[in-house]
Structure 1
Amino acid sequence: MELYNFFALKKLVESLFDIDVDHYNSKFEPPPKIRIEISGHELDEKIEISDDGIFYFDENGNKIKGFLYIPIYDPILWKSKGWNDMPRFHITNCDVIMRQRLRRNFDGHYVFSNTAVTDLMDANGIRKDILLCGNCMNKVGLNKKISSTTYVDEYLNNDEYGGNYTEEDLPEEISVDQFGYTPNWDEVSKAYRISKNFTCESCGLKLNENYFDGYFLETHHINGNKTDNNEDNLKCLCTLCHAYVDKNHLNNFKNSKNFKKLKTFVELFYNKLVEIDNPHLYTFLNEFGQNIAPNKTLNRNLPRGA
């Protein structure tokens, strides 16, 4: 786990969803305040300790981020063991936590909390805020000591880092095939193409005269997410228009299998593509015309200057 300011991701979200991230009200509300002693069975059933953080699962299935600490400070015992002068709090699966787990020292030994700890007294009887464990600091990439108050205010109660989710907020696990499509993609794609009367939404070419024609009409994911099958994210495109959606698609169509389909499409539907003035036809022919079958001298009809 590393605590980064995701600047690039922020800009991507702003561009995709046309929102101002800095002035967008999050739907997440502050999680309930929790302080609970961890028993052995709760460690297995209700606590998740990983490199991404330490989380508690409540009875409603909410996943709440927090930290672990020892709630009792005995100056004499601490000094005899060579420990720090005050307990430290832990926010990740650091070396200390891993050792304690191996020794099974969690049965009532640690407390899970998501609120600041400022009530432990030092050797002089002064109440202090506890500090973050040095091993945790190294693991998450922090180069300065922070108190539990700072961690709660700047991280746990900050949507950018908090990671607090309710059960309905957690994304559903989506199974995909080897190409990244959902298992029902063929049915979704066919239904969408039927709804558009097998017509390319870019150039207007109709490909519904027979079953074979439909092979050259493809369903495109507008945002590039192959698991997002919402209708407003889909677009019917003929093979040629699909190839020229962007540079990535064109590169994909240049491989042998996809290019064969693209080439066959242009050969079969050349006259129709000319008739409807497909916006990509002459670009394709200028670059790949030499790959068209010799008996189909398609570029003879290229307009001057094309």
Structure 2
Amino acid sequence: MSFELPNFLDWSSLNALRQKMGAPLSVSFVPDLRFKEIDLPVLERLQKTGVDVKFDEVEVLSDGTLAYKGYRVLLYIRDISSIGHQEDMPRYHLAYCRTLDKMRRNSRFDRYVVANGESGKFQVNVIENGIRTQHVRLNVCQNCLDQIHWDGFAMKMPREGRLALVSRFALPDFFKKYSRDLMAVRPKHTSDTAPLNDYSQDWSEVSERTKRQRGYRCGKCSTMLRQTDSKFLHVHHRNGQKHDNRDSNLDVLCIGCHAEEPMHGHMKNLPDYRTYMDRYRR
């Protein structure tokens, strides 16, 4: 007795056999020829084309620098209307500075992309009679250098000195100090050994001494406050670590400028802030 096997590649023949067996019928074999978009690894995209981001996707680290999905990143505006002189080009950002904070508050943060190459050249899409993609060398944002106090940079310096530091700034040096791969960096402390992020016991003495050494003058707007009005003058930790009282980590700021620092907006609800603004900023 011979038995002829059905052609298992023929959908109708296979279903005829399944029907005799009382088994559920199979659906038609239709090849799926749809192409699926390949999601390139994050690091490869960061170093080549950049990644469009929303504000809540970017993390502001304790040192003020920026991170995206485990990598320290740079932010810049990729799509521009035209390319002019270098001084007219957008800057790239490496810290959450006053410029980024203003863009966020004005709901314009979605114009940015993140990247972390170190060549200093960034992919820019020039929108002018179509779209033309170029790789352009951009300058670093001065407010960012001021935020992390890079190489002694400060916005109160003379313009010539600031421009000299900008021209010497190199991303390889930045990523040497601030590691690109955050997941590969071992924390300096464990949960047991990490110092408490609180003011030191001698903070009042440190604060008063720093104000006196800086001439009771705001390091941002240069307003001088003494005696009865010195309560409007604060000492701010640049890296957010309240126990780090190194002179290079301390800024003397009036309460008006202090409230503009990243994550310090709550100060605007303080009575001292409103009194200061009425008295000095009207």
Q: TM-score range by the shorter chain?
A: 0.3 to 0.5
TM-score (norm 1): 0.32
* Structure of larger gyration radius: 1
Q: Which has the higher contact order (CA 8 A, sep 6+)?
A: 2
